[in-house]
Amino acid sequence: MLPLRLPLRVVRFAPTLGPVVLLLPLCACTGDLNVNKGRIEMGVSPTSIDFGEVVNGIAKTLGVAVTNDGYGDLMFESVALDGLTSSDFAIVEYPSEGIGHGEEANLLVSYTPSGEGQDFGNVELISNDADNPTFLLPLVGTGVQPEIDVDPETISFGIVPANQLSASQSVSIGAVGSGDLVIQSMLLNGDGAAYFSVAAPTEYVEPYTIANGFSLNVDVTFAPMDDLEQNAELYIYSNDPEQPLAIVRLFGNTADDPTTNTPPDVEIVDPNNGEYFMDNVAVPLRGHVVDPDDDVTTLLCGWYANGVGVAAAFPDSEGNMTSDALLPAGDTTVTLRCLDAAGDRGEDSVVLTVWKHDEPVQYVISGGATSFEFISVDDDVAFFLNGAPLYADSDNHPSNLAPIAFDASVGDELRIIVTDDNACDAYASAMQLHWGTGDAQPLTDTVCVSSCETHSCYDPSYAGPWPGAVLDETFIIAIP
């Protein structure tokens, strides 16, 4: 505002009366200083924060400058993330003591994405700026999961004459997953590294960004100075959080082609397919592995039940592995799996029946050493479990009976009665109780007696009774 100008008053005195006195103009203004005294004005630059792409689990911190462009102290009542802001954002630093006149301070915010996709939020600043007491600072960031894909992972240059020729092959470095892949460095490592070289496109400058879905091709050259076998590794460092170091193995002047690999040959020795076990008893596990390309002691092996690991397996120098494990109840697939250095695996599986230890299990009564043999009787037989009828053959004639399956528990009582209804022969084959494919409990011996002289079991003292019981025995189930 321009000052108000008043007319000058000039008073002249006669020379004899003394010096001339000049009166200065009178000012009727008020300046800006008086108007702005105590006025607070906050400035924020930039007015938003964009973190761009950030790898999951990695913290990135950015900030803005907060200034006090007014007079007096800029003070904050609150600096906080609003209720709609993603929890992946956090305030790191802010001017909690306020900002003096003409001064500047930093507001720092970090972003640590916990998953793939875009996150949003706001920092809410509440201050004593009367014109703008509440200011929202928008936040945005994108969580990404870069993944490197190197192809091939092994290069064999074969036999190359020394000091005469060189051989080159290409390696593709692809950006898969989500977000850009950043190649931080590439270098050769190993005893034979001096015989190999790497050439990238002219635009390649580390760190080099490969856009998602694209790839970078580099050429690897082998130029030997002798005929000796030379091996090296190409190390590729990137922002892949799961595989920050990818390795390409390089082989030169070797007769064997290391790019071909035979997976391990794995065999489960014990248990056998179809066996029965209880879920509260550790099952002995035995396996064997052979690998023509690797030392078997370096293989990574393990036992799995229905796809879930239950025991580690460590092959000895002969490839033998011994472990034991509790198995889940039901029809359980047990697998022995081994992984070699090239990532190829071999496996073998068996299907077992595992019973719950506190529930009845299935038993079989047969007429012999296996659970598949028929029961022969002349004339009839009856079975009882804990006093209740289980099975009866009562046709008064000789019979061949299929094995009898039933559910019971250890400690239950099994009674067998064999009756002879017709004169001449009394016969019953020996019987056994079976559980699974391995456990058996002997029950009765063979009953063979006849009153007929022409029969092989003739006993002149045998005279019946007809009808009557020739065997009546009770057993306590003791297996498994």
Domain ranges of the chain: 42-144, 146-252, 265-355, 361-476
Per-residue pLDDT of 317-348, as tens digits, reads: 999 999 999 999 999 999 999 999 888 899 99
Confidence of residue 32 (pLDDT cuts 50, 70, 90): very low
| pLDDT for 239 beyond 90 | yes
One fold for both 42-144 and 265-355?
A: yes
pLDDT, position 163: 79
Residue 346 is predicted with a pLDDT of 94
* For the chain, percent of residues with pLDDT exceeding 90: 70
Closest CA to 150 of 258, 247, 260, 259: 247
Query: pLDDT digits over 340-352, tens only?
Result: 988 889 999 999 9
Mean pLDDT of 88-103: 93
Average per-residue pLDDT for the chain: 88
Would the pLDDT of 28 be above 80?
A: no
Instruction: Give the mean pLDDT of 61-71.
Output: 93
Write down the pTM of the prediction.
0.47
Top-tier CATH class for 42-144: mainly beta
Q: Please give the pLDDT value at position 27.
A: 40
Phi and psi (nearest 5°) for 36?
-90, -5
Predicted pLDDT of residue 260: 72
Q: What is the pLDDT of residues 406-455, one digit of tens each?
A: 999 999 999 999 998 888 888 999 999 999 877 899 999 999 999 888 88
Q: Which pLDDT value is given to residue 321?
A: 95
Flag whether pLDDT at 33 surpasses 50: no
Question: What average pLDDT score do residues 33-45 get?
Answer: 72
Q: Which of 8-12, 35-39, 186-190, 291-295 has the highest mean pLDDT?
A: 186-190
Kindly indicate the confidence band of residue 159, based on its pLDDT and cuts at 50, 70 and 90: confident
Within 13 Å, how many C-alpha atoms sit on residue 149's CB side? 13
Closest CA to 421 of 404, 453, 398, 387: 398
Gyration radius (Cα) of the chain, Å: 46
Q: Looking at the domain covering 265-355, what would its CATH class be? A: mainly beta
**Band of pLDDT at residue 465, cut at 50, 70 and 90:** confident
Residue 88 and residue 111 in contact, taking contact as beta carbons nearer than 8 Å = yes
pLDDT higher than threshold 50 for residue 21? no
pLDDT in tens, 170-207: 999 999 989 999 999 999 999 999 999 999 999 999 99
pLDDT value of residue 294 = 85
Q: What is the DSSP letter of 162?
A: T
Give the DSSP letter of residue 6.
-
Query: What percentage of the chain exceeds 70 in pLDDT?
Result: 91
Task: Name the maximum alpha-carbon separation found in the chain.
Answer: 188
Give the range among 60-69, 158-167, 298-307, 467-476 with minimum mean pLDDT. Answer: 158-167
- Alpha-carbon distance 291 to 347, whole Å? 12
d(CA 369, CA 432): 7
- pLDDT tier at 38, thresholds 50, 70, 90: low
Indicate the pLDDT class of residue 37, thresholds 50, 70 and 90. Answer: low
146-252 architecture in CATH? Sandwich (2.60)
Beta strands 42-45; 60-68: pairing state:
antiparallel
Q: Tell me the pLDDT tens digit for each residue of 250-285.
A: 998 876 666 677 899 999 999 999 889 999 999 999
Query: What pLDDT score was predicted for residue 256?
Result: 66
Predicted pLDDT of residue 26: 41
What are the backbone dihedrals phi and psi of residue 201, each rounded to the nearest 5 degrees, phi first?
-55, 155
Q: Are 221 and 127 in contact (CB under 8 A)?
A: no
Looking at residues 108-114, what average pLDDT do you find?
96
The dihedrals phi and psi of 235, each to the nearest 5 degrees, come to -90, 130
* Confidence check: pLDDT of 9 > 50: no
Give the per-residue pLDDT at 190: 92
